[in-house]
Amino acid sequence: MTLGEWLDARDPAPPAALADALRTELTAELDLPFSNAPGALLKAGERVLERVLKAAPQTPAVAPDLLLADALVTYAFEAVAESAADADRLAREAMARLGSLGGQ
């Protein structure tokens, strides 16, 4: 199974606009094997959150990207739970990587 196939199988499915945003953000990663999904999703979530934090000024216009970042990180944890991978490692990695964004 690929990351794209796994996303397509989400139940409940995300709203159409979010599903489109996920596929757009993950274009390069959709064909990765599912075993790579947790890391790829976390990295994509980090990428999107960096965009949100760099947006100037911070306005409601960043809300779709903030929701996208949330969905990507949430799916990273869903994928790690389904793959029997090291959830503790992913949690520590997520806290370190996302916590370091914004320079604070």
Q: Are 9 and 62 in contact (CB under 8 A)?
A: no
pLDDT score for 85: 63
Structure tokens given for 57: 């000024």
Query: Measured between alpha carbons, how far is 34 from 17 in angstroms, rounded to an integer?
Result: 23
Tens-place pLDDT, residues 58-95: 788 889 999 999 999 999 989 988 876 676 777 777 77
pLDDT at 104 over 70: no
Query: Measured between alpha carbons, how far is 56 from 16 in angstroms, rounded to an integer?
Result: 27
Query: Measured between alpha carbons, how far is 59 from 37 in angstroms, rounded to an integer?
Result: 31
Q: Are 38 and 83 in contact (CB under 8 A)?
A: yes
pLDDT at 24 over 90: yes
pLDDT score for 7: 96
Domain range annotation of the chain = 3-103
Tens-place pLDDT, residues 55-64: 877 788 889 9
pTM, full prediction: 0.82
Q: Are 59 and 73 in contact (CB under 8 A)?
A: no
- For residue 33, the SS3 value is strand
